Chains A and B, each alone.
Chain A
Amino acid sequence: MPSMPEIIGPSPRPSAFPLWSAFERLASLPIEAMVWIGSLVFLYLVDPASPGRPDLCLFHRLIPGLPCPGCGLGAAIHDLMHGEIGASLRAHPLGAPALLILVARVHTLLRENHEPRRRRGRKESTDGEHS
């Protein structure tokens, strides 16, 4: 079938449109990685503790006044990403570990997203050697 590649479409075009291939790579990320990266970018741009900002904590919205052990973590991560370590510790002492755990998780997700492709490539090459 000589016309097969034309039907499937020009998917392997690595350098024709660099921006598009970057977008494609971004769109192939697992949903979980997208959510964590998105929320970290959001936390960098927005300080959840700034006055006038609505309370992000859903538990406080359900039951006002509920003591929540995680409240202040968002503000602590925001302060940490802007280099204000003292303010971060005051907002929540465990902001740094929380940020570290999230970054480590995103790293794992990205590695797993790339590994299967690499392994498939290696497997094909070893098959070729055997045959």
Chain B
Amino acid sequence: MANILELLPELEGEEMVFVQGLIKEMTDAHAAQFAAVYRSRRRDPGTVLLLACLGFIGVSGIQRFVLDQIGMGLLYFFTGGICLIGTIVDVVTYKRLAFDYNRSRAIEISGTLRAMA
């Protein structure tokens, strides 16, 4: 029984609940390994918000590149964040953007660990 507050104390809200559900059934060693890999791969929502805010000074779409959305990143970059609409959307929904990315990384990592075990 692994405890999320000891392994990954920086997680909040939805992400914490989701990752707790993933590591609940892991052994302690497994959960520690998962935490180390997950911490190095996840994107901090605060970083996503900061990069989205760059759109207000003319550099748009960096947050989309960071979240592996190359197409959306290019579209944002060359249209000024789709005429600022996209930038505002991302500033409002940055937590959801980061969580969607982090959730797929968490599923990926737990799948790899299970395959190796």
A interface residues (Cβ-Cβ under 8 A, vs B): 30-32, 35, 39, 56-59, 68-70, 73, 98, 100-102, 104-105, 112, 116
Chain A contacts for B71, CB-based, 8 A? 100-101, 104-105
- What band does the interface of chain B fall in when counting residues whose beta carbon is under 8 Å from A? 10 to 19
Q: Are B80 and A35 in contact (CB under 8 A)?
A: no
Q: A58-B84, A101-B72, A105-B69 are in contact. Are A69 and B79 (CB under 8 A)?
A: yes
Q: What is the bound-complex CA distance between A32 and B88, given in angstroms?
A: 10
CB of A3, distance to nearest CB on chain B (Å): 27
> Could you tell me the distance between the alpha carbons of A104 and B74 in the complex, rounded to whole angstroms?
14
A-B residue pairs in contact (CB < 8 Å), sample of 12: A30-B96, A31-B89, A31-B93, A31-B96, A32-B97, A35-B85, A58-B80, A59-B83, A70-B78, A70-B79, A70-B82, A98-B75
4 further interface pairs, Cβ-Cβ under 8 Å (given A30-B96, A31-B96, A105-B72) = A31-B89, A68-B79, A69-B79, A70-B79
Residues from chain B with a CB closer than 8 A to the CB of A59 are 80, 83-84
A56 to B79, CA, bound (A): 12
**Residues of chain B within 8 A of A73, CB atoms compared:** 79
Contacts of B75 in A (CB 8 A): 98, 101-102
- In the assembled complex, which residues on chain A have CB atoms less than 8 Å from the CB atom of B80? 58-59, 68, 70
**B100 interface contact, C-beta 8 A:** yes
Q: B113 in the interface, Cβ–Cβ < 8 Å? A: no
Question: Which residues of B are found within 8 Å of A69, using beta-carbon distances?
Answer: 78-79
Q: In the bound complex, how far is the Cα of B80 from the Cα of A124, in angstroms?
A: 45
User: When chains A and B are docked, how far (Å) is the Cα of A98 from the Cα of B74?
Assistant: 9
Which single residue of chain A is at the shortest CB-CB distance from B72? A105
